[in-house]
Amino acid sequence: MISNYLTSAEIRRQFIDFFVEREHRFVPSAPVCPLDDPTLLFTNAGMNQFKDVFLGTGRRDYTRAVNSQKCIRVSGKHNDLEEVGLDTYHHTFFEMLGNWSFGDYFKEEAIAWAWELLTGVWQLPKERLWVTVFGGDAKDGLPADDDAARIWAEATDIDRTHILRFGRKDNFWEMGETGPCGPCTEIHIDRGGAGSDPKDGADRKIGVNAGNERFIELWNNVFMQFNRKDDGSLVPLPAKHVDTGMGFERVLAVLQGKRSNYDTDLFTPLFRRIEELSGKKYGEGERSDVAFRVIADHVRAVSSALADGALPSNEGRGYVLRRLIRRASRFGRQSLEVDHPFLFEVVPSVTEALGGAYPELRQRVDHLQLVVRAEEESFGTTLDRGLVLFDQLAQRVANSGARVLPGKDAYDLYATYGFPQDLVELMLRERGWSLDLESWKQAEETHKSASRSEGKFKQAFSDRDLAALRSDVEKAGWEPRTISTYDKPDERSWRVKTQTIRLDAGPTDRRGCRLLLKESPFYPEGGGQVGDTGTIEVIDQALGAMGMRVEDTQRLGDFIIHIGTWHGDVPGQSEEVIATVDLDRRERIRKNHTATHLLHRALKEVLGAHVSQQGSYVGPDRLRFDFSHPQAVTSEELEQIESLVNERVFANAPVKTTIEDLEAAKKRGVVAMFGEKYGERVRVLDIGGWSLELCGGTHVAFAGDIGPFVIVSERAIQAGVRRIEALTGPGAVEHIQSQRRTLSAAARLLKSSPDELVARIEALQAQLKEVKKKEAAGSKADVGAAFERVKKSLASHAGVLGAVLDFPDLDGTALRDLGDRARTLSNDLALALFARAGERVPFLVVCQGAALERGLKAGEVAGRIAQVLGGGGGGKPALAQGQGLRADAVDEALRVAEQALFGPGGP
């Protein structure tokens, strides 16, 4: 092994240089969360960004590539999450070093170069290296890869007894349930140890592939030859390719002479930071060591995904990120006793360690910290709520007399609140209970199979579609690329003669018909811009009225697919058609798209350079722009932004596009979106030199074409992410007019003019306040006068003071006030008092002292009154209230009350 210590940056560079010297093109890492590929949660191998090349739907202008790819494996076929932290060589986030041949070299060169790099350049001891080759599979009808075994034996000086054969599980690589695949050859290293025998590698129990930390896989060379279809069968790929992947953290550990990946310079700065934050030391105990590894690993995964534009949420990849943050936070709480947010303080160590190779991490450190911190804070609250739910659950179980917690409920707590099995068991043990492990396992299995299907490599169009499409295109002798408005950005005529290839044949009036044209004026959905709509009509009228309403346009590799409803017979392969884009809609989209670029620039200008795009929607109706910013944008800032955009519109600069090299464009400061995958040659959109952005969409010719620009809303969609919605052109005018109509209507109602509206409303508010004040004072005075009347009216009825009175000017509230005061007039009292609330008649009855002793009950009296007045009434013997419905029966009610309180038989 090489003696002088090489840093991670140097080793990464050596790998890339080795293959660049062998005519490989260096291709930057694709985003770790492929935002444009909803079928793949995270990039899980270096080859993901080349899958279209393997399937034959895309091409590159090079046939050899090398890169170091950011990968995350947390779901689907390749899922290492449960292992992470427990051992020293599994990760959710890792870097994969890879070299590729696209129909260029094959096994011979791949194997020889792998050997040369490992044993020549890096001087790994040959006697410690073991290789595996595919031993064949009866079910798939595949023979053993004797070629690979022979090449190892002939083209390298490896000890022949170190060439082992394994089956499909170990030596046949597949990206997902479907997709490109092929036999592979893996290189493993024996890291030895006390008393170990160098021959152990061949021992199936303790050697290669036995799953221990002594023999670890370093490098996998896949020979891509097949496509696995939905039905499980294998079909040969159009060409043979090489796809390799070397775990960077593992090879680094070997080259830096470390037993654990976590002891390399990729991790040590992170551990130092966690030590500072927790006051614990790495290496002090197994329990806290696991926590260190989990935290370091998860913060790396989360930081890299956030930097590429993902955000925590309740579904899909966002949910995975949320769970990683929660898992790390929980390990921090349980094993390191840090119960406040701290992961966000580990983030800068990650961005420093990885920022050299992946600058986007360094550039977005503030945004990452903000989002992680907000998640940690909300998790604290969730955890507290989870504890309450756990108690409730336990209570329910206790009530049923059981002492075993049902596994399904416990698993739900885990899935929703991050309560892991060991924590649940611990809490149960404290109560002397246990967990129903059987049903826990069942729930876990159900959950896992749900997440497995998430990871399935699905395509919007099936493999069969793709294969049929490819062969039709080849038969027709077309270039496998549709000529589109991308190639003719200045094209102004949207009527194009063309030929068709149909993707669906079938009965008339087909919904969901998908059609490919040799040339298309339609823009497919992309970069936030919605797909075009329009019509495709057959020219040959003899065939009758046939045509398609295009409801959406999508991109599939280099093909543009028109989706809609076909009326009449579906056309054959070479009909002449006229394709017409809905031009008015397109015009609105263009205005909104160019305005989106101006808005992006204006946001940076007014709010600061940290603003970066998180997503956008560019439709005919409006535009939406999501961006990172820590707090609400004030209304003054919004006005500044809006004015700035409008100034650029008035300046009316031409909107120019150029095709440039990506690297050159980046060097001159052209804005690229984080997480977006770009080819080597990119389209740069330049608006008067003020806004420079990479973009493939449709735009106006001059900024002035946008017309007025108005912002209609600004709000948070997530911690650290704001959303602005805005309108342009006719939409903006309609908005302004509608607001003006509202304003005029309001002014008319107030008999004022729009300019005076604010002053008028202020005056009205002041008036209202005054009236309310008077009313309150007035009602106090009224209650006072009424009280005097009660006092004067009281007459003695055999030792009880009493009165029955009507107050048509008092409302219910005043009546209650009056009742409260009147009850103080005597200990021995009988009263019935009536008031008004519109048509209704609130009333109350009081019986106290001697009145009660004589058997009078206020509740009963109120009941009798209610019978007269309609409505209801009742209460306690001493005090009752009611509300009558018939003001016209008050006189009758007064009589009844008089009779009930003071009549014969009364007191």
Site of interaction with ligand ALA (CB under 6 A) = 45, 47, 173, 220, 222, 243-245
Q: How far is the CB of 174 from ligand ALA (least distance, A)?
A: 9
Helix axes 812-822, 757-793, angle to 10 degrees: 40
Q: Which two tokens stand for residue 895?
A: 């009589």
Q: How far is the CB of 669 from ligand ALA (least distance, A)?
A: 35
Q: How many CB atoms lie within 10 A of CB 382?
A: 16
Q: How far is the CB of 211 from ligand ALA (least distance, A)?
A: 17
By three-state DSSP, how is residue 681 classified?
Answer: strand
How many angstroms separate the CA atoms of 476 and 58, rounded?
18
Q: How far is the CB of 265 from ligand ALA (least distance, A)?
A: 24
Q: How far is the CB of 379 from ligand ALA (least distance, A)?
A: 32
Q: Which two tokens stand for residue 315?
A: 């579904």
Identify the residue whose tokens are 């599979």.
137
By three-state DSSP, how is residue 845 classified?
Answer: strand
Nearer to ligand ALA, 77 or 677 (CB): 77
Triad 445, 446, 448: Cα angle to 5°: 60
Render the burial of 284-318: b for 16+ CB within 10 Å, e for the rest. eeeebbbbbbbbbbbbbbbbbbbbbbbbbeeeebb
Q: How many CB atoms lie within 10 A of CB 889?
A: 16
How many angstroms separate the CA atoms of 639 and 651, rounded?
18
Q: How far is the CB of 176 from ligand ALA (least distance, A)?
A: 11
Closest CA to 840 of 896, 783, 882, 780: 882
Nearer to ligand ALA, 254 or 890 (CB): 254
Identify the residue whose tokens are 């701290």.
342
Q: How far is the CB of 215 from ligand ALA (least distance, A)?
A: 17
Closest CA to 613 of 665, 669, 673: 673
Nearer to ligand ALA, 261 or 728 (CB): 261
Q: What is the DSSP letter of 145?
A: -
How many angstroms separate the CA atoms of 493 and 728, rounded?
24
Nearer to ligand ALA, 220 or 349 (CB): 220
Q: Which two tokens stand for residue 771?
A: 């009236």
Nearer to ligand ALA, 145 or 243 (CB): 243
Q: Report how far apart, in Å, the C-alpha atoms of 755 and of each of 342, 643, 752 are.
A: 53, 22, 8
Nearer to ligand ALA, 168 or 585 (CB): 168
Nearer to ligand ALA, 44 or 264 (CB): 44
Nearer to ligand ALA, 136 or 245 (CB): 245
Q: How far is the CB of 24 from ligand ALA (least distance, A)?
A: 15
How many angstroms separate the CA atoms of 66 and 47, rounded?
10
By three-state DSSP, how is residue 195 classified?
Answer: coil
Nearer to ligand ALA, 47 or 672 (CB): 47
Please state the length of the chain. 907
How many angstroms separate the CA atoms of 234 and 229, rounded?
6
Nearer to ligand ALA, 245 or 332 (CB): 245
Concatenate the DSSP letters of all residues of 367-388 into one string.
HHHHHHHHHHHHHHHHHHHHHH
Nearer to ligand ALA, 100 or 522 (CB): 100
Residue nearest to ligand ALA (CB): 245
